[in-house]
Every structure is written in structure tokens, then in C-alpha cells.
Amino acid sequence: MDRIVVRGNGALNGDIPISGAKNACLTLMPATLLSEEPLTLTNAPRLSDIRTMTQLLQSLGCEVSALQEGKVLTMSSHDIHNHKADYDIVRKMRASILVLGPMLARDGHAVVSLPGGCAIGARPVDLHLKALEAMGAELDLRDGYVHAKAPGGRLKGATFEFPLVSVGATENAVLAAVLAKGTTVLKNAAREPEIVDLANCLIKMGAQIEGAETGTITIQGVDRLSGATHPVVTDRIELGTYMLAPAIAGGEVELLGGARELVGAFADKLEEADIEVTQTNRGLKVKRNNGRVRAVDVVTEPFPGFPTDLQAQMMALMCTAEGTSVLEEKIFENRFMHAPELMRMGAKIDVHGGHATVTGVDRLKGAPVMATDLRASVSLILAGLAAEGETVVSRVYHLDRGYEHVVRKLSGVGAHIERLHEGD
């Protein structure tokens, strides 16, 4: 099993290019199911989750071609011959549930396995199903599958208010509503950039969508959608992750393609911790001032608040901050599994329910640690940049789900990092 070795060696300097967003791409890919014409996505990230979604779409009858070393995905769904998303593929990734809405909208029936993915709490799909039921879908859960059909072969527009903000459920509802008969209004909808990116892509395909950035999305259903070409939005989580590299290790790094509007609340917290964040004509420049960073408190919230997907990485920074910080996780339960691993490196962390209290230490010490999920894996790598000695991160297959060329990108700005394969 592969592992990553990091040796703390001081300041980082240079440029890091930021890839297209994994979460956006995984949402955009199922949109091909809504049209018989080709959908082409540019700026696609090359990740294992993208390959999993490709396999899922192909299993349904989609033609998917990866061009320019995987940065361009061309998809055609002119012949959907299978409407069952099988457990063997769906279990690998929660985003697989996003094929349910499009298949139901286009052909009036679908059978989709309940999904798997990272072990971060329960993350049920009940909000997805309730939104589809509001549009007239008849659902039957049996044998681990969602059996769905639209009476008369077509969903109907409806007004639905999400009891909780849910990114995935909002995406599925939008994908379903664009071909529904009549008007759909989604209230208390997620406002993440990935939602806006999906809406922009669907509008290019002929959908009528308003308010994607407001929390109330109005969709006038159309009879058919056409093909389109659309660039995947910049990955705000990868952006925030690499913004933390110079914040933790010291130095000055420019994140190419970065925009503050994607990470506003996160950038504000970095500045509160005495890290300089500057928008340039190429991206975002991040610089750590001399001395230890200041401890800051963090509460994760739906966009535009502090992202839950940057909580683990922020905790790594707080481990060597001056003072005590409290991180409150309000999105997912059980998302402090990285804390015991950081403690193996000398961090002082006390976890109680959804709160983690971190008392900064002068320096972390390298140790063998184990990744428990995608964001935890990169938080341990970041911690290793500031640690004395060698940090060995095992189970890095989690990393491949969400970070493209992490070793190449960090070593390009001066980090001592390498990936060792089994047997090395």
C-alpha cells in the first residue's frame, strides 16, 4: 500500500496551479444523462472519483472519452440502455446518487443503489428523495436500492423547502427539475460555487434557471436540453488546502487560478491568524509573516461560511499557533478522526462531541500516521511540512480521490515530499 513521506524543511516559495473542482465535476458529469447531445467538460481534474463516475456513466450506456490527459471529458448519452446504477460501482462514492435525478427526469424511471464513500457520519440521502417525491416521484427502497418512477413518465414542478441545507440534495433536485413539467422552486437551497457552476452549465444546455446563488432556485422545466461545452470551476477546497501550505511551513506561494470569492470566509480566518492573503491577476498569493500564527476559532457552516472540507487542514495550522483555538464542526458528525493522528505528532487536542480544542505547541514532531478520509489525509501532509523529522502517512488512497499530483505540486514549491509504493 502506498504511503507519503514528508520531511519538514522550512519555508515554501513559488507557484501552485489549482485544478478544476472535483465536487463540481462529479455534479456536472451526470448532466450528460439529460440530453442526447454531447456534453464536454474542460478543466476536469484527474482523480479516482472522476474515474468512478466515468465507470458508472458507462455502465448506463454513456460514451465517455478523456482527452488532453484527462483534462477534457466528452460525454454522449444518446443511447441509455440501462437504468440501474449497480452497488458495485455506487458503493465507492456518495456522488453516485446524482444519476438518480437525471435518469428519472429524462426517462421516468431509475434504480440506484444507496451510496457509500468516506466514513464521515451517516450522511443519509433522505433529502434527495424527499425533493424528488415533491416532484411526483414514486419511490420504493428495497434490497439496498432506490426504485424510482415518475407517473406518466415525467416529473412535475413543485415548491420544496429543504429542512437542512444540503449540497448533494440541491444538486439532485436541480438536475431533476430542469426537465420537469412546470415550475420548480427550491427554498433553503445550497449556495456553493458548485451549485452555481451546475446551473451555468445547464443554462448553456437550454435550461431555465434563476437564483442559483441566492438560496432560492427557480427552475422552469423545458422539454429537452442540447449539448454544451463548459469549464469546470476552480477547486476551492484544493485552493484552501494549498493556501495553508505556506501558512504552516512559512514562505510565500501563489495559487494560480485562485479567487477570493471562492474561499472568502476561509481567507478571512487566515488573515485573522496573521497570514497575508492577496488577490493577484494570476490567482491568490499567501504569505506567512515572521513568528507563530495566532490561534483563531472556527465554526464550519454551509457556503459562504467556513467549509467543513477545510476544517481538518485548518486544525493542522492551529496545532502550532500561539494560543488556544476551538473548532466547531456543524456539518458532519464524526469529522475529527484526524485529531488522534495529529496528537501522535505532538499536537494538544481535546475533542468533545462536535468541538475540538487545540492548544498550540512550538513544533510538531514527525511520526507514522494513518489517513482516515480524504481531507484528513492532506491535513497530515500539511502537518508534516511543519514537523521536526519525518512524517509517514499511510492509506493515502484516500488522497487520490480529491487531490491531483499533490507530491508534484508541493515539491514544486520546495517541500521535501515523496510517494513510496508498496515494496519501496
Q: What is the pLDDT of residues 81-138, one digit of tens each?
A: 999 999 999 988 888 999 999 999 999 999 999 875 444 344 468 999 999 999 999 9
Catalytic status, residue 319: no
Considering the domain delimited by 3-19+234-420, tell me its CATH architecture: Alpha-beta prism (3.65)
Count of C-beta atoms within a 10 Å radius of residue 140: 10
Distance between CA 6 and CA 419 in Å, rounded? 9
Q: Which of 121, 123, 94 is closest to 30 using CA atoms?
A: 94
- Residue 420 is assigned to a ligand binding site: no
Establish whether domains 3-19+234-420 and 22-231 are of one fold.
yes
Does position 275 have pLDDT exceeding 60, yes or no?
Answer: yes
Q: Please work out, in degrees rounded to the nearest 5, the angle formed at the alpha carbon of residue 73 by the alpha carbons of 72 and 75.
A: 150
- What pLDDT, on the 0 to 100 scale, is given for residue 135? 98
**170 contacts 189 by C-beta, under 8 angstroms:** yes
- Dist. CA 184–CA 134, nearest whole Å: 10
Mean pLDDT for the stretch of residues 340-348: 97
- Give me the CATH code for the 22-231 domain, please: 3.65.10.10
Cα(424)–Cα(422) distance, integer angstroms: 6
**Residue-level pLDDT at 375:** 85
Please check the confidence at residue 333 and state whether its pLDDT lies above 80.
Answer: no
What's the CA gap between 45 and 234, in Å, rounded? 10
**Nearest-CA neighbor of 220 among 182, 164, 169, 262?**
182
Contact 73, 41 (CB under 8 A): yes
Q: Do the Cβ atoms of 241 and 403 come closer than 8 Å?
A: yes
CB 258 within 8 A of CB 213: no
Q: Is 288 annotated among the ligand-binding residues?
A: no
Tell whether residue 123 is among the known ligand binding residues. Answer: yes
- 105 within 8 A of 86, measured Cβ to Cβ: no
> Which residues are CB-neighbours of 268 under 8 A, at least 6 positions away?
none
Within 10 angstroms of residue 237's Cβ, the number of other Cβ atoms is 24
Cβ-based neighbour number of residue 59 at 10 Å: 16
Tell me what pLDDT residue 290 has: 84
For residue 82, say whether it is annotated as part of any ligand binding site.
no
Contact status, residue 176 vs residue 32, Cβ threshold 8 Å:
no
pLDDT digits (tens, 9 = 90+) for 41-84: 999 999 999 999 999 999 999 999 999 988 999 999 999 999 99
Task: Please tell me which residue, 27 or 422, carries the higher pLDDT value.
Answer: 27
pLDDT at 423 over 80: no
**Which residues partner with 194 through β-bridges?**
none
Q: Are 297 and 327 in contact (CB under 8 A)?
A: yes
Instruction: Please state the rounded mean pLDDT for residues 231-256.
Output: 97
CA–CA–CA angle 220, 226, 230 (5° rounding): 95
CB 209 within 8 A of CB 180: no
Pairing of strands 208-210, 228-231: unpaired
Q: Collect all residues with Cβ–Cβ distance below 8 Å to 256 and sequence separation of at least 6.
A: 15, 16, 17, 18, 282, 283
Q: 3-state class of 259 per DSSP?
A: coil
Instruction: Say if residue 23 carries a ligand binding annotation.
Output: yes
Residue 98: CB atoms within 10 A of its CB come to 28
- The three cell numbers locating residue 227: 449539448
Residue 243: which pLDDT band, with cuts at 50, 70 and 90?
very high
The whole-number average pLDDT for the span 361-370 is: 96
Q: Is the pLDDT of residue 397 over 50?
A: yes
- Which is it for strands 216-220 and 208-210: parallel, antiparallel or unpaired? antiparallel
**Residue 380 phi, psi dihedral angles, 5° rounding:** -70, -35
- Other beta carbons less than 10 A from residue 121's beta carbon: 12
Amino acid making up residue 239: L
Question: Any idea where the domains of the chain sit in the sequence?
Answer: 3-19+234-420, 22-231
Residue at grid coordinates 493542522: 316
Q: Is position 15 annotated in a ligand binding site?
A: no
Query: How many angstroms separate the Cα of 41 from the Cα of each of 16, 335, 371?
Result: 22, 32, 31
Q: Is 33 annotated as a binding residue?
A: no
Cell 484527474 belongs to 46
Per the residue annotation, which of 25, 118, 201, 319 is the catalytic one?
A: 118
pLDDT digits (tens, 9 = 90+) for 148-195: 999 999 999 999 999 999 999 999 999 999 999 999 999 999 999 999
pLDDT on residue 315 = 98
125 among the known binding-site residues?
yes
How would you classify the pairing of strands 109-113 and 298-299?
unpaired
CB count, 10 Å around CB of 418? 13
What is the model's pLDDT at position 359? 98
Pair 55, 69: CB distance under 8 Å: no
Question: What pLDDT sits at residue 376?
Answer: 87
